[in-house]
Amino acid sequence: MALSIKNLSSWYGQSQALWNVSLEMQEGEVVGVLGRNGAGKTTLLRSIMGLQGHIAGTIAHGDLVLSGLKPHEIALSGVVLLREGGQLPASLTVGQNLVLGQRLARRRRRSGRTFDEIWRWFPMLEPLVDRRAGLLSGGQRQALALAVAFISEPKLLLLDEPSAGLSPPVARDLFQTIKQLASSGMTVLAVEQHPAWLLSLATRGYLLEVGAVTAQGPITDMLVANRGKLV
């Protein structure tokens, strides 16, 4: 099992954000998490990565129990969170950010992908190799953040609103790249407010409403049955 979450609850101070959330993912599977703003989607990803200070329940990645581990320990286990907006060290160049991803791969005792592989998957980045990340467009930053994650050879990739702030053509290109990466065997859990982007990517979905899972199933069926709850 790539990811197993059982009865996860999460708090911000005294305010509870997740209520007994359970979900499972197999190796190589792509699963979407749907829901309106404030439904708890980002909190779910933060909880998996150990970024929530107060949680209850169990989160396991394979045989490793993540709940209770520190964020850097979870990252070293092979879990990567791609944050909304493609947050990266702005003062570092594209190439320097990719080198950080390679170093993370080595700390995970993996070989790390090469720059040549990255240029094949992300051809737009090659001519920008010496440009600082802070000078990139929104779509370029998201592509770089995805490339940094990919070069580190993660076992599980968490995507937090990858289309946020992007124009439809740029988002379309980004999701096409994500689909290609997923086809290489990467396990992906994708949170997305605009669920149409997940149609060609995810096989299954979970619906979050006010911090609780209220439905799950094939992604197409989920969108048809719950359209009124997603806008």
> Cα–Cα distance between 199 and 166 in angstroms, integer?
18
pLDDT, residue 114, reads: 93
- Tokens at 17, concatenated: 């954000």
Instruction: Give the domain ranges of the chain.
Output: 87-154
**Does 182 score more than 80 pLDDT?**
yes
Q: Say what the pLDDT of residue 26 is.
A: 93
Query: How much is the pLDDT for 176?
Result: 86
Average pLDDT, integer, range 73-92: 88
Judge whether residue 86 has pLDDT over 70.
Answer: no
Lowest-pLDDT choice from 60-64, 82-86, 157-161:
82-86
pTM summary value: 0.91
pLDDT tens digits, residue range 134-174? 999 988 998 999 999 999 989 999 999 888 878 888 888 88
Q: Is the pLDDT of residue 128 over 90?
A: yes
pLDDT reported for residue 169: 87
pLDDT at residue 85 greater than cutoff 80: no
